[in-house]
Amino acid sequence: MNLNQLELLRVLQETDFNLSRAAEKMHVVQSAVSRQLQLLEAELGSSLFERHGKRLLGLTPLGERIIREVDQIHKAKKNIQSMADDFRDNRNGALHVATTHTQAKYLLPMPVKNFREKYPGIKIYMVQSSPDDLIELLHKHEADIAICTEKLAEVDDLILRPCYQWHHVAVVPTGHPLADGKLSLERLAGYPILTYSPGFTGRSAIERAFGEAGVQPDIVLAAADSDVIKTYVRLGLGVGIIAETSYEPGKDADLVALDLSALIAPSTTKIAYLKQLYLPSYCRYFIDELLKQAQANKH
Amino acid sequence: MNLNQLELLRVLQETDFNLSRAAEKMHVVQSAVSRQLQLLEAELGSSLFERHGKRLLGLTPLGERIIREVDQIHKAKKNIQSMADDFRDNRNGALHVATTHTQAKYLLPMPVKNFREKYPGIKIYMVQSSPDDLIELLHKHEADIAICTEKLAEVDDLILRPCYQWHHVAVVPTGHPLADGKLSLERLAGYPILTYSPGFTGRSAIERAFGEAGVQPDIVLAAADSDVIKTYVRLGLGVGIIAETSYEPGKDADLVALDLSALIAPSTTKIAYLKQLYLPSYCRYFIDELLKQAQANKH
DNA sequence: TTGCGTTACGACTCTCGTAAGGATG
DNA sequence: CATCCTTACGAGAGTCGTAACGCAA
């Protein structure tokens, strides 16, 4: 048994149990992985994959169990590498951040700028994705940290750090009737609503608020980002509901933002990363910068 | 980086960072481990060991961290082996049980007998040791399961399964004055006491009972096993306090057992094993037998 | 026929063991 | 001077790549 053979199991799982593609991923010829797999199975004395003829179809029950251990080993190995790189003051690492549009646009810019200055050698990769995907990206080790508001509570192999709390605002063109008088969910629901896609940026809090009030909003546009929403608000499609941070007084002077903190429960944006993985110091620095930025935004 | 190099780190820790002895343990010549260690340190880019000249003195901070990951890897690797062996219905395994005298003599015999019949190919190794050592044996992977009453609560990487609850009895020769009338801790303390060594078989419960009563017993003999205690009780050295299960009505007809359940809190004997290690099916069978035996003893 | 996996064989790399050498207490 | 670690070098084991073959969609 050796690390390459165990790695092969992981790669096979990621390639639909296709030896040829696994070989490609591992930068060896196909016959090599074929032999290594045979050797491993021979050593363990049982087959780890269900087969149809020569083709691999999936894992056997034993294979399932073993691959869980392989994942542990893979994580530990990664940790050893990261720690050594970190200790050596390696300035050639990479930071993979997965987040949603809202955070990428309104929270990350300053932290990223500071990070670039402090760690010019570290490449920053940002993946913008849906909250559903973020957790998966962490688990696949394709992201080091994820920043988002929704969907980050269910899993327990993550460390979750609350970053900042915010509330929603309604945005309407200046002169819109809603801008006067007292706001209520009922009045809001009297207009077509434009807001985030399900699963994005506090959408669940919006739904909960309307649901508990027994009001059925007419959501005519659901977008992944605030800019799209604002664009259509400008076109007069209806009332936008976006995160307060997404309203920019300067650029959005033609829009009015109406505080909804009394009507819709606040949302908390969190930072998440895998509990079992070692976080290099530059990663910790980035998280600290995010928290600092979140503090600054409050004032 | 490969598994042997990582294993070397573990072995070095166990051999006081002595390359020569580590080489012996790994069944290779000393120059081989020297080179492998150099290769690993070169690959990671930092040294993992504090050195004084050529000699290794201990781990660097980085080495400390890395070895924790190495332990994870070692456990996972062991699990893979165990699972494969178990799945293949391997009848050539071994069961390492660590326990104290009392359990070895009064709880284990039947379970061991049943185990031998069901798994004749599995060798049973029993290590008798002090409760202090048992946990260490588990951590060093020199024991699969530990059975004992004391000291099994503090660590959280163990799974603890309560096995049975029992209380102490006082044993005196027939005709001893204590055999008549009402027992109390004060009366007991009027005689020399013979009981277990600190840390053994509920000794802590005995101390707590006397301590809370404000009575200072005169413990003239502290032994690791009940048989020694009974022997000296027979010689008239004083009153023995032993586990109820250690009093055998047949063999011990010349002694009287006096129930102390009202005076000394009951003790619970537990089975412990490492949370992160895979338990082969024969191991689980043995644990089941122990629990069954504990049930049977109640009646 | 194409895609996928296995088997055979020669070349290369890696690791080991032997042996000699240097440092430390 | 005994113990411990390192270095040099040749032998052997292990792994890879090429290539030819078998099998199924």
A83 contacts B1? CB cut-off 8 A: no
Q: Does the pLDDT at position A103 exceed 90? A: no
For B168-265, give the CATH class: alpha beta
pLDDT of residue B129: 87
Question: What's the mean pLDDT when you consider all of chain A?
Answer: 91
Q: Which of A25-34, B125-134, B178-187 has the highest mean pLDDT?
A: A25-34
A3-85: CATH number: 1.10.10.10
First to last CA, chain A: 57
Backbone angles phi, psi at B112, to 5 degrees: -65, -40
Higher pLDDT, B93 or B47: B47
State mean pLDDT over A14-31: 94
pLDDT tier, B33 (very low <50, low <70, confident <90, very high otherwise): very high
Q: Where are the domains of chain A?
A: 3-85, 91-164+270-297, 168-265
Q: What is the pTM of this model?
A: 0.85
Instruction: Flag whether residue B84 sits within 8 Å of chain A, measured between CB atoms.
Output: yes
Quick check: A80 and B62 CB within 8 A? Answer: no
> Which structure tokens are listed for A234?
């400008």
Q: What is the band of A30 on the pLDDT scale with cuts at 50, 70, 90?
A: very high
What span, in angstroms and rounded, lies between the C-alpha atoms of B244 and B171? 10
Residue A117 or A201, more confident = A117
Which whole number is the average pLDDT over A63-77?
Answer: 97
Do residues A104 and A73 touch, judged by C-beta distance below 8 A? no
The C1' atom of D18 and the CA atom of A46 lie apart, in whole Å, by 30
pLDDT tens-digit map of A207-255: 999 999 999 999 999 988 889 999 999 999 999 999 998 999 999 999 9
Q: Which pLDDT band, with edges at 50, 70 and 90, does A19 fall under?
A: very high
Residues A20-36: what's their mean pLDDT? 94
The confidence score (pLDDT) of residue B153 equals 67
Lowest mean per-residue pLDDT among B11-20, B84-93, B118-127, B237-246? B84-93
Distance CA B144, CA B284 (A): 11
Which residues in chain B have Cβ-Cβ distances shorter than 8 Å to A42? Answer: none
Instruction: Give the pLDDT score at A234.
Output: 93
A12 CB closer than 7 A to any strand C atom? no
* Residue among A157, A155, A133, A153 at smallest CA distance from A143: A133
Could you tell me if A57 and A13 are in contact, meaning their C-beta atoms sit under 8 angstroms apart?
no
| Mean pLDDT confidence for A266-294 | 94
pLDDT tens, position by position, B143-168: 999 998 877 667 789 999 999 899 99
Query: Which chain A positions have a beta carbon within 8 Å of B279's beta carbon?
Result: none
In sequence order, the β-bridge partners of residue B165 are: B268
Q: In this prediction, what percent of chain B has a pLDDT beyond 70?
A: 99
Distance CA B194, CA B222 (A): 6
Quote the mean pLDDT of chain B.
Answer: 91
The answer to whether A2 faces chain B, any CB pair under 8 Å, is yes
User: Over 70: is that where the pLDDT of B127 sits?
Assistant: yes
Nearest to B87 among A46, A79, A87 (CB): A46
Nucleotide nearest to B5 (CA to C1'): C15
Interchain contact, A85 vs B3, CB within 8 Å: no
The token duo for A257 is 């933002």
Residue B94 and residue B125 in contact, taking contact as beta carbons nearer than 8 Å: yes
User: Of the spans A5-9, A120-124, B107-111, which averages the highest pLDDT?
Assistant: A5-9
How many whole angstroms separate alpha carbon B294 and alpha carbon B108?
10
Same fold, A91-164+270-297 and A168-265: yes
Average pLDDT value for residue range A56-85: 95
Count the alpha carbons within 13 Å of B159 in the hemisphere toward its beta carbon: 12
Is 70 exceeded by the pLDDT of residue A152?
Answer: no
Residue A89: its pLDDT value, please? Answer: 80
Residue among B47, B70, B87, B278 with most chain A CBs within 10 A, to mutate: B87
Q: Which residue is nearest to nucleotide D24 (CA to C1')?
A: A53
Q: Does position B242 have pLDDT exceeding 70, yes or no?
A: yes
Check B76 against A77: CB less than 8 A apart: no
* Dihedral sign computed on CA atoms, order B76, B77, B82, B84: positive
The pLDDT value given to residue B182:
83
Amino acid B291: pLDDT: 94
**Residue B34: alpha-carbon gap to chain centroid:** 36
- The distance of B134 to chain A (nearest Cα, Å) reads 26
A83 touches chain B (CB under 8 A): yes
Q: Residue B152: what pLDDT?
A: 64
Indicate yes or no: CB of B69 within 8 angstroms of CB of A83: yes
In CATH, what class is A91-164+270-297? alpha beta
Give the whole-angstrom CA distance, residue B240 versus residue B63: 51
